Every structure is written in C-alpha cells, then in structure tokens.
Structure 1
Amino acid sequence: MNEKSHLNHLLLLTVATLFISTSGALGKFIAMPTPVIIWWRAALAAIFLLIFCLYKGINLKINNGKDRWTFFIAAVLMGAHWITYFYALKLSNVAIGMLSIFTFPVMIALLEPLFSRTKFDPIHIVLGLMVLIGIYILAPEFDLGSSHLQGILFGLLSALCYALRILILKGQVAIYNGTMLMFYQVAIIAVLLTPILYFLDTSNITTQYPYVILLALLTTAIGHTMFVNSLKYFKASTASIIGSAQPVFGIIIAYFFLNEIPTIHTFVGGALILATVIIESIRSKIK
C-alpha cells in the first residue's frame, strides 16, 4: 500500500469512527422507548444495506444451517448490545455510556481462550483490573438506586453482548462479505423486535424521524460498513486503537449538541479504560 492510499484508508477509518460515535448523542436525544428506537434503527438500516447489496451485486446466500444459526445468535447479541447500550445512555450520560461499553476489548481478550485455541495470557488479568479500577472511578457512588451506576451496569452488559458477538462472528468475516453480515444482523433484529411495536408507544416517530434516519443511515449502515471494510487494509489491532477514539468523539459531540459536561471522574476513569484498549491493541500488533 503506497503512502497516499494508506492515508486515504486511514482517513476513511477515522470518518467511520466519527460516524459510529454519533450513536451516543442520538441514543440519548431521541425521545422514544429504547426498543422502539432500536427497531427503527434496525429496520431502516436493513433497507439501506439491502439496496446497497443489490446495487453492488453482493451475494446474500448463506452456505449452510450452522452458519444460519451463527448469524441468528450474533443478531440476538447485537440487538441486546444496542438495547442495553441505549438504556445506559438514557440512565447516565453519553460519556459514561460510551466508556462503559469500551470495556469490550478486554472482555474479548479474557473470553477468547474459551472460543479458540489461544492460550490464556496472564497480562489480561492486569488489564481487566485496570478496567475495573476505571469503572470504579467512573461510578460516583455504588448505590443500585443511582441511575449513573445502573447506566454503568447496562453499559457493561452491552459490552459483554458485543464481545460475545465479535467472538462468534470471527470465523464468518473471512467467508462472508461484511455488508452482507451486517444486513442479516439488522434484518433479524428488526423481525425479532416487531412484536414490541404493539405494546410500546411509537407515535413520537412523527417528530423524531430525522434523527432516527441519521442513526440508521449515518451511524449504522455507513459507519459500521466503512469500519468493517477498513479491516481489509488494517490489522484489527490498528482498527481498534482508532476505534477507541469513539468515546472521545462521542463526548465532544454530546458537549456541543446536548451540553453534557464530563466530570473529572469521567476523565480519569475513562482514560484508564481507553489505556487498556490501546495497550491490548499494541500488544496484539507486536505478537
């Protein structure tokens, strides 16, 4: 890869990270029940991605029944990740919600030996402890009645769902197109969440649709697809180092659009969490 094309790919990866970062402010801002937001996000993203797949002639065939089950489980985990993440944003704020889910790279490192033949690395215990200290600093008080702590717990559950989804899908990325994988996941999420439309209030869509379209198109269809495609040009470790700028972008966006000002606890706890992501990414690059 020459210098100019490398810089272009790096710029596209940074833009993808910025687009994905809009999920924090949009998730906090959209005034609808969380499962309804996720249904609209998934359904609209599925339409956008299907149009893109048909336009590009991307093969949508799933090879066998085992892969169908993998797609289905990955979609359930992705849906659970989005719903718990948006609850984290609504209960706390964009900074805490986004920083809590960025514990997922360390969760992946700790869980990976259970999914593949990789040996357990004791350094991951140290990184896990750094993350726990970061979360402890993030939480203003360990009172289960505190909405901030509830937000952190939802964020951690969201990170666990996301980590499991990545580990389950790891083998599929080499076989299937990234856009096609994303299409099936959002389509399955939309189908599974359809019954909730009968029970929850959906009337606010008449005023919220511009933000929901932004979430589905910019954050989900374009941002996530660009990020997956960048893995062709960069190691996963490089992508995750740049990806760890998401909470930073998210906090800046929330400051300008939602007037959310992070506390010193957020900065210190967040710095510890992001430091573990960068350390693990650099270590995996050296190996």
Structure 2
Amino acid sequence: MKNQHTNHLIELLIGTLFISTSGVLGKFIDLPTPVIIWFRSALGALFLYIFCRYRKFNIKINSPKDISTILLSSVLLGVHWITYFYALKLSNVALGMLSLFTFPVITALLEPLFIKTKLNVIHIVLGIIVLIGIYILAPDFNFESSQVKGILLGIFSAFCYALRNLFLKQHVGQYSGTTLMMYQISVLAVLLLPVMFTMDVSNITTQFPYVILLALITTAIGHSMFIHSLKYFSVSTASIINSLQPVLGIVMAFFFLNEIPTWNTFFGGSLILVTVIIESIRSRKR
C-alpha cells in the first residue's frame, strides 16, 4: 500500500510539474488569450482522443445526469484558463501564479459543502501558511497599476479552478482522468470556436511550436495526471500539494523569461514547500 501511495504521489508531483509550464508558456505565447485557449483545447482534445483510442479506454458517458456536470466543469475550466492567462499578461509569472494559488484555501473552505465532510482545521492552517508564503513572494506593487488587475483575475481564476475540481471529484470514480479532460477541453474548443473568426490569428505560424507544448505537456498530460490523482487524494490534499506550481513556475520564468526572483521569493517559496511536505506525509498516514 505504501508503495502504491508513493507511486500516486509521484504521479501527482509530475503532473504538477507539467502544469507549471502554463505560466511561462502563457506569458510567452504572442497570441490573443482566447485564441491560445482555443488551440490549447482543440489540440489537447485531439491528443487525448488519440491516446484514449490507443489505450482502448471507454469514453462513453454512463449517465445523462453526468452531461450537465461535465458541461459546467468545462465552462469553469475555460473561465479559469482565460482569466489566469490574462492575469499573466497583466502582471508577471510570479504574481499570476501566486494569486492563482489561493485555490487550496478556497478548496478547503468549499469542499465540505460538496462531499459532506467536516471542515479540516489542518487544511485551513496549511492553506493560511500558503497564503503567507504567497504574500511574502509577491513583490511590492502600485495599486493603480495593471498588476492589481492581474492579481484579482488570478484570485477569481482560483475560485473557478476550485469549483471545477470539486465538481469533478463527484465523477472520478466512474471515468478516467484522461476521459474527463478530453470531454472538458472538447467542449471548450466548441465554445471558443467563434474567436478564431473574430480575433487576429496571423501570428500562429511562429507560435505554433509553443502552442503544441501547451496543448500536449501542460494540458493533455499534466491535467490528466492531476485529475487522475483525485481518485487517491482528497481535493484539498491534491490542491495543497499542487501549490508547488508557483515555485516551479518562478524557476522556469527565471531561466526562460529572465524574470529574476528576489529573496522574498525564496523565503515565501520555502513556506509553500513546507506545506507540500506536511500534506504529503499526512496523506501517506491515512
């Protein structure tokens, strides 16, 4: 059992690493945000469909009742992605990712309303530590600048992300994470199709390799692994472990975008890492 737990934890951490590439790619890709999300969704859905057929996964929806939940979670995912990418464009990778990572606290507060569990005080404490780490990580900013808009969009994106994860938690026992992700981004590709005719996509020829990375590594593989982990961890546990993303994203931004972190970044990041380690140990004992 312990070896299985370790394997599931490693899978969750690898998924977190892959999802962390969204910060750098979202900031770097020079296309309108809705266009980026359409390519991310359409190509990601294609990759996942090919994978599902190759592995002979059952991709049928078991009950008509599931359709509404899948549709709602798809819309929440789309709003989360779009607001998150706007947050990255308005601020920087650090602020965009860090404001997004209020979602473990939001998840811990909302989870008892969805699955009728008692509010776990330890999750609240760990969430507060994450918030303190985020506060330390965030650089000084002017409230009149676009950075504030970026942070507010990041927090709203976090709320949508938490809701989407909680809705999906009700279905992970019936569907594979890959199947759920394929359905969600297929719905998004359909909903966002009009942007391909109303926005400037002329730059796609130079940006296509990065869009492919976003669709394959970040979306198809990373998010599928994260959703799959919800079979073995509570949403709160997976969310807190997922808080590694800002740390990983800031490191990537340093190497690929020359965004230089401060000492506050290292100190705040260490607090986030502590919560990840604590929750990893706690989840192993359960």
| TM superposition score normalised by structure 1 | 0.86
Q: Distance in 2 between matches of 1:28 and 1:262?
A: 16
Q: How do residues 71-110 of structure 1 correspond to structure 2 at under 5 angstroms?
A: 71-110=70-109
Q: How do residues 128-167 of structure 1 correspond to structure 2 at under 5 angstroms?
A: 130=129, 133-134=132-133, 136-140=135-139, 143-167=142-166
Q: Residue type of the partner of 1:181?
A: L
CA contact (8 A) 1:41 1:213 kept: yes
Q: Which structure 2 residue ranges, 5 or more long, are not aligned?
A: none
Number of the residue aligned with 1:27: 26
1:220 aligns with 2:219: yes
Deviation for aligned residue 1:278: 5.8
Aligned length: 285
Number of the residue aligned with 1:118: 117
**219-228 or 28-37, which deviates more:** 219-228
SS of aligned partner of 1:256:
helix
Deviation for aligned residue 1:276: 5.5
Q: Which structure 1 residue ranges, 5 or more long, are not aligned?
A: none
Deviation for aligned residue 1:49: 0.6
CA-based RMSD of the aligned residues comes to: 2.8
CA contact (8 A) 1:235 1:285 kept: no
CA deviation digits over 1:99-121, x for unaligned, max 9? 22121111011112322322345
Number of the residue aligned with 2:242: 243
Deviation for aligned residue 1:16: 2.5
Q: How do residues 10-49 of structure 1 correspond to structure 2 at under 5 angstroms?
A: 10-49=9-48
SS of aligned partner of 1:246:
helix
Number of the residue aligned with 1:55: 54
Q: Distance in 2 between matches of 1:98 and 1:274?
A: 15
Structure 1 pair 208–150 and aligned structure 2 pair: CA distance change class (3 A): same
CA deviation digits over 1:133-170, x for unaligned, max 9? 55554554575432222221111111100000011111
SS of aligned partner of 1:111:
helix
Q: Distance in 1 between matches of 2:2 and 2:254?
A: 37
| TM superposition score normalised by structure 2 | 0.86
CA contact (8 A) 2:41 2:215 kept: yes
SS of aligned partner of 2:170:
helix
**161-170 or 270-279, which deviates more:** 270-279
Q: Distance in 2 between matches of 1:150 and 1:267?
A: 24
Q: Residue type of the partner of 2:197?
A: Y
